[in-house]
Amino acid sequence: MTDTTTEKAQPIRVATSSCLIGEEVRFNGGHKHNGYLTKTLARHFELIPFCPEVAIGLGVPRPPIRLVSSDGQVRAVGVKDPTVDVTEDLEEYGRTVASQLTDVSGYIFKRASPSCGMERVKIYSTKGMPVDSGSGLYAQAIMQALPLLPTEEEGRLMDPVLRENFIERIFVYHRWQSLLRSGVAPAKLVDFHTNHKFSVLAHDEAAYRTLGKIVAESGSADLPQLAERYATQLMTAMKKRATRKLHSNVLQHIMGFLKEKIDGDDKAELLEVIGKYRHGQIPLIVPITLLKHHLRRHPDPYITRQYYLEPHPEELMLRNSL
């Protein structure tokens, strides 16, 4: 399928909370080493560690902090000594790091952390009772400054659907970053869109149509503004979970390019396999493998350039559980 040689030759950089790769930077002097990051993802990505609490000078070990709601504001203060307030320090460091992440294509945050948690971080009242949930202040600053950057928490990566979605977004975003570095031109934007059509269709059918309309304006519209609109729509669409129904729709679209080249038995087999996938009887990798088999015998230049059939390295086996 689509050539990924460049992606393999130049490691894709992904930021991560330092404790997740085994650095002893936690408040208690420990770590939260995650084997999936260091043993699997590290083979395909260059992991760039950050620990905001150490970076702002809290030290290791250190008294823990938590999020507290007071007078309509959420602040990061000491658990035992609420006069310790590092709210502005964490937010400012987040904005500083965000400005440095121009060549980073994703971020994996430590869940539940008052600094790094992406979502569902406990927020307490001034009396110490949980009253709400939100984002860690450093993570929130990163996500606000870089809204298109793919982000995820290490705990959610254990969900096969969320894991595949996140890693697919990293590769899409990395390719978009490469396009921007090479200079956006109408022909390049058309090529990029063409290569990702089925990938988008598997996530958001409405966005698939909208992106096509945006690209159609590339010859006459202000190109930088159009590229920004395109990227926003693209990454928003890719964040939506792909469903078995949408995947089945894409698989049938691809099958349509083979209908004049394969016999009736092969067509029946493909339809049966796609149907079994749609009804949850087999994983996505099964119809994908069968389609690839037929496409090797009957290559189609339009389908060959689609990233949908190989959105990430096969070694990650991300579609074996979908």
In angstroms, what CA-CA distances link 69 with 103, 141, 142, 186, 282? 35, 18, 21, 48, 47
Give the pLDDT of residue 42: 97
Domain boundaries, the chain: 5-58+89-120+134-155, 159-322
Per-residue pLDDT tens listing for the chain (322 residues): 444 444 446 789 999 999 999 999 999 999 999 999 999 999 999 999 999 999 999 999 999 999 999 989 999 999 999 999 999 999 999 999 999 999 999 999 999 999 999 999 999 999 999 999 999 999 999 999 999 999 999 999 999 999 999 999 999 999 999 999 999 999 999 999 999 999 999 999 999 999 999 999 998 889 999 999 999 999 999 999 999 999 999 999 999 999 999 999 999 999 999 999 999 999 999 999 999 999 999 999 999 999 999 999 999 999 999 9
Q: Which residues contact 115 (CB under 8 A, 6 or more apart)?
A: 52, 53, 65, 76, 90, 136, 137, 138, 139
Residue 224: Cβ within 10 Å count: 10
For residue 194, the model assigns a pLDDT of 97
CA atoms within 13 A on the CB side of 198: 22
In this predicted structure, what is the pLDDT of residue 218?
92
DSSP H or E run through 76: strand 73-78
Query: How many residues belong to the chain?
Result: 322
pLDDT the model gives residue 9? 60
Measured distance CA(112)–CA(225) in Å, rounded: 36
Q: Please report which helix (H) or strand (E) contains residue 193, including its range.
A: helix 186-201
Residues 6+ apart with CB under 8 A from 13: 45, 46, 48, 103, 104, 105
Q: What's the confidence (pLDDT) of residue 74?
A: 98
pTM of the model: 0.94
Residue 282 pLDDT:
98
Q: Is the peptide bond before 82 cis (omega within 30 degrees of 0)?
A: no
